[in-house]
Amino acid sequence: MREYIGHESQVYGVEEVRLVGGKGDGMRLLQVRNGSGLEFTLSLDRAADLSRLSLGGVNFGYFAPCGYVSPTYYDREGNGFLKSFTAGFLTTCGLTSVGSPCEDGGERLPLHGTVSHIPAEQVCHWLNDGVIYIRAVIRDASLFGHGLLLEREYTVPLFGDRVTLVDKVTNIGHGELPLQMLYHCNVGYPLLCEDTVLTIPSLEITPRNDHAATGIANCLRMEKPQRGYEEMCYYHRMEGEARVTVYNPVIKKGFGMTFDTAELPYFTEWKMMGAGDYVLGVEPGNTLPDGRDVMRARGLLETLRVGESKTHRLTFDFMEE
């Protein structure tokens, strides 16, 4: 191939850019392309989360009305998270709390934790043996508070439709700490429409509340956008290595998400068919999004001892015909 090109960016590459203007002003973005038409953007100032993703020019994720928002504008009070919840293809929730705002252990905890508003450091990328590697470190630590280090690595082949994410979280503090993580993967139009097929190998499905219970028979069936739609959440129990797929037979594209339920034993489906707020969340995690106080009361709160690490792996394989 080298004989055909002057620069590798004709076919693939990793480029860092910065946003100018608005609430995203100054944010660092890492734009990644491979030779198979797979493109994605990592939002480096937002925990190196995966904001945009497309295959063959077709968008797969959901972008919230707020768009890109710098951590400068983060509001941690109550549901203030939603003012800067870009969503994107993947937002990381955690690291010490996930889900509903609550008070636990003397702490007032905001919606979905704070890690997605922490800028990454030590960002680097390289090419080795036909694979692009991207690494970043996210330091979630404070004086008199907790100390957690998230070491994050993405890999993508030069030619192939797969992205692998490996996260290692280490307790760098001086006491045992709660560890809550949820991978908030958000599917949007045009991949998401009323024809989209969601497949989850569930052994058991539990609605989050009475409202969700009214729609459980159709929880895997997508609908047209509707004004006034009230979100529905379902908890799916799976075992072993699980693979959840989202596929649109009209555009003949989709993806599979594979993870180990020993590492991430909980899976939340967030079905939101609202007009404009049209998004499907497929969300593995080590917790349910009901709040840390609820998980602690149920004896389900995971913790990390001093110096202990936990590793999570997610693999996304992308399909097109």
Calpha distance 184→230 (Å, rounded): 19
The model carries a pTM of 0.98
Residue 1 clears pLDDT 80, i.e. is over it = no
Q: What is the pLDDT of residues 52-99, one digit of tens each?
A: 999 999 999 999 999 999 999 999 998 999 999 999 999 999 999 999
pLDDT in tens, 4-32: 999 999 999 999 999 999 999 999 999 99
Does the bond joining 95 to the residue before it have cis omega, within 30 degrees of 0?
Answer: yes
- Measure Cα distances from 315 to 6, 108, 255, 309 in Å: 32, 33, 10, 20
Render pLDDT for 257-312 as a digit per residue (tens, 0 to 9).
999 999 999 999 999 999 999 999 999 999 999 999 999 999 999 999 999 999 99
Q: Per-residue pLDDT tens for 229-268?
A: 999 999 999 999 999 999 999 999 999 999 999 999 999 9
Q: Give the separation between CA 49 and CA 289, rounded to whole angstroms.
A: 19
Cα 85 vs. chain centroid, distance in angstroms?
11
Report yes or no: 190 and 59 within 8 Å, Cβ to Cβ: yes
Please report the pLDDT score of residue 78 as a whole number.
Answer: 84
In degrees and rounded to multiples of 5, residue 297 shows phi and psi of -65, -30
**Predicted pLDDT of residue 321:** 84
pLDDT at 183 over 80: yes
pLDDT for position 64: 98
Q: Which CATH class is domain 2-320?
A: mainly beta
Over range 33-40, report the average pLDDT. 97
β-bridge mates for residue 180, sequence order: 95
Residue range 122-164, pLDDT digits in tens:
999 999 999 999 999 999 999 999 999 999 999 999 999 999 9
- For residue 206, pLDDT over 90 is answered with yes
